[in-house]
């Protein structure tokens, strides 16, 4: 989600469909709710903070994936503040949009989410709604085609770790052979 990359792709590959990696826009929503949670926790008196100590793990996790006791703890945490409750609802809604199978339904829900995020009154979501609106076509392409580059990112990470642990291999052929051994 960096404009120079998109412009470069449009210049050299004019017929290509530009797709934003799903990780990047999901991460923006997760960061938005985390910022709301942190802001709320900093504004709490010290004696209430201990009750929200585990909220940094409970709030970003999908509600469906939580165990019953964690669901109760999250519900208790969400009762404290309207903004946190709204941010949680916006996050769950966006995650649900990314799981919808019908592209038309995804497109409609995504546009509805953007309009609701703009009017929700939470500055983090308003900022990301503006970003999503400007990258709308590329995000919708990610929904439509379902292409992600996680495998490529994994190979790059393995190579970086190998490079760090090798302390500078001088012979390129040996380094290349180690890369092939690590990634096969």
The answer on 14 and 101 residing in a single domain is yes
Q: Are 128 and 28 in contact (CB under 8 A)?
A: yes
Structure token digits, residue 157 = 């990470």
Query: CA-to-CA distance for 62 and 95, rounded, in angstroms?
Result: 8
Structure token digits, residue 13 = 């590959």
The answer on 156 and 108 residing in a single domain is no
The answer on 136 and 179 residing in a single domain is no
Terminal Cα distance for the chain, rounded: 30
Domain count, the chain: 2
Averaged pLDDT, 106-114 = 97
DSSP per-residue codes, 87-146: HHHHHHHHHHHHH-S-HHHHHHHHHHHHHHHHHSS-HHHHHHHHHHHHTHHHHHHHHHH-
The answer on 175 and 133 residing in a single domain is no
Looking at residue 59, its pLDDT comes to 87
The answer on 154 and 110 residing in a single domain is no
The answer on 66 and 41 residing in a single domain is yes
Out of 19-33, 39-53, 84-98, 137-151, which region has the weakest mean confidence (pLDDT)? Answer: 39-53
The answer on 32 and 115 residing in a single domain is yes
Higher pLDDT, 167 or 21: 21
The answer on 56 and 14 residing in a single domain is yes
Looking at residue 41, its pLDDT comes to 85
The answer on 122 and 157 residing in a single domain is no
The answer on 109 and 41 residing in a single domain is yes
Give the closest residue to 136 by CA, choosing from 113, 102, 152, 170.
113
Q: Is 127 a residue whose pLDDT tops 90?
A: yes
The answer on 90 and 155 residing in a single domain is no
Q: Is 117 a residue whose pLDDT tops 90?
A: yes
- Residue 166's domain comprises 150-183
Query: CA-to-CA distance for 28 and 133, rounded, in angstroms?
Result: 13
The answer on 48 and 124 residing in a single domain is yes
Looking at residue 47, its pLDDT comes to 79
Q: Is 50 a residue whose pLDDT tops 90?
A: no
Query: CA-to-CA distance for 99 and 93, rounded, in angstroms?
Result: 10
Torsion sign over Cα 93, 98, 104, 110: positive
Averaged pLDDT, 128-147 = 94
Give the closest residue to 142 by CA, choosing from 16, 17, 20.
20
Higher pLDDT, 96 or 81: 96
Q: Which strand (E) or helix (H) includes residue 54? A: none
Q: Is 13 a residue whose pLDDT tops 90?
A: yes
Higher pLDDT, 91 or 166: 91
């Amino acid at each position: 989600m960096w404009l120079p990359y998109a412009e470069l792709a449009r210049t050299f590959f004019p017929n290509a469909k530009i797709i934003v990696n799903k990780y990047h826009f999901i991460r923006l929503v997760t960061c938005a709710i985390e910022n709301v949670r942190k802001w709320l926790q900093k504004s709490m008196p010290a004696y209430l903070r201990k009750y929200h100590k585990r909220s940094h793990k409970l709030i970003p996790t999908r509600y469906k994936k939580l165990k019953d006791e964690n669901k109760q703890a999250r519900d208790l945490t969400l009762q404290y503040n309207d903004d946190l409750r709204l941010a949680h609802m916006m996050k769950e809604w966006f995650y649900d949009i990314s799981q919808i199978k019908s592209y038309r339904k995804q497109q409609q829900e995504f546009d509805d989410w953007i309009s609701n995020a703009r009017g929700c009154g939470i500055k983090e979501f308003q900022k990301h709604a503006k970003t999503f609106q400007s990258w709308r076509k590329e995000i919708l392409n990610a929904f439509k085609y379902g292409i992600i580059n996680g495998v490529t990112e994994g190979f790059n990470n393995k190579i970086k770790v190998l490079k760090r642990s090798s302390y500078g291999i001088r012979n390129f052929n040996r380094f290349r052979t180690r890369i092939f051994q690590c990634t096969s």
